[in-house]
Amino acid sequence: MIKLAKRFGFAALVVAIAALAAMLPSVFKPSVVQAPAGRPALDGGETAGAGATAVAPAHQGGVPILMYHSIGWEKGNDAVISPERFAEHMAFLHDNGYVPISLGELDQYLRGARQLPAKAVVITFDDGYRDTYEIAMPILKRYNFRATLFVPVAEVTKRLTWDELREMKAAGMAIASHSYRHRDLGGLPPEVQAEEIRRAKVILDKELGQDTKYFCYPNGSYDAATLKILREQGYRLAFTIEPGWAKPGDDPLRLKRIWMGNSVNTFHLKERLTREDYPIL
């Protein structure tokens, strides 16, 4: 390059470079990726609207679905994550460009109907503990993060009020079904399972004004009868406690999630967000 400049002069060199650049294939030109458009809140049964702005495709391995339970202080119980550790998790997601999505958006992605941001993630809470309202919701609102709460409906008035659930829903947290009484469904007679699932949906729909389409298996327990009942009752997605990411082609009623306990510091959180074969603690 230096020898050519001396022989022909810098002006001629610049012209030659410009002509060469114009001949390069367009594949080498940087593409412009649109940022996600503003999205309306989605409830526990609503699906994301069609025609949303296309964004960079989600990472090829799938979407990590984070599974939280209670937030507080309980020594020796890894299912209870401290408020400080939970705040660290949410700050990490925000500071590193992760985009929490709704279950409606996840549903469409899994069925090939939409693309997602490269750092899409799903945040879920099981069991409907009061700390989800008192501790988690203010932190989620700080970052404008979406999340989903799976509630065992018979426990609602013991832990949260319906007005509080409505407030959470209005703030962007979908409310979905964790059955009626949080019984292990696998092995129960099909008619008992059907009533557990049906009764929870009827009450959620009535109290929250929605068509509940998302379900989480209590203690991860289900069998072939459970899957059949969920399909018959119109559920679109159901979540297990088996480790892994959610990917197109997965059974939408047997989606995997990532355990989030107090032992998961930000180093381990990063592992779980970037590799599906993360080490189990």
Q: DSSP readout, 39-77?
A: -----SSPPPPTTPPP-SPPPTT-B-EEEE-EES--TT-
The domain ranges of the chain are 1-30, 42-274
**Which CATH architecture does the domain made up of 42-274 adopt?**
Alpha-Beta Barrel (3.20)
61 pLDDT band, cuts 50/70/90, is: confident
Secondary structure letter of residue 206 according to DSSP: H
Amino acid at 18: A
Residue with tokens 């500071």: 95
Alpha helices, DSSP H, located in 103-245: 103-110, 130-131, 137-143, 156-159, 162-170, 190-208, 224-232
Residue that wins the pLDDT comparison between 36 and 171: 171
pLDDT at 280: 84
pTM: 0.81
Dmax over CA atoms of the chain, in Å, equals 89
> From CA 89, how far away is CA 222, in angstroms rounded?
30
243 close to 75: Cβ distance less than 8 angstroms: no
Q: Which of 108, 107, 90, 86 minimizes the C-alpha distance to 99?
A: 90
CA 203 to CA 206: how far, in whole Å? 5
Instruction: Categorise residue 211: left if φ over 0, alpha if ψ from -120 to 50, beta otherwise.
Output: beta
Residue-wise pLDDT tens digits, 111-167: 999 999 999 999 999 999 999 999 999 999 999 999 999 999 999 999 999 999 999
Strand partners, 176: 150
What was the pLDDT predicted at 27?
32
Percentage of the chain beyond pLDDT 70 is: 79
Model confidence over 156-205: pLDDT tens digits? 999 999 999 999 999 999 999 999 999 999 999 999 999 999 999 999 99
Residue-wise pLDDT for 20-32, tens only, equals: 333 333 333 333 2
Among 203, 98, 204, residue whose Cα is nearest residue 149: 204
Model confidence at 108, pLDDT cuts 50, 70, 90, reads very high
Q: Is the pLDDT of residue 109 over 90?
A: yes
Element counts in the chain: helices (H) and strands (E): 11, 10
Please provide the average confidence, as pLDDT, over all residues in the chain: 84
- The confidence score (pLDDT) of residue 248 equals 95
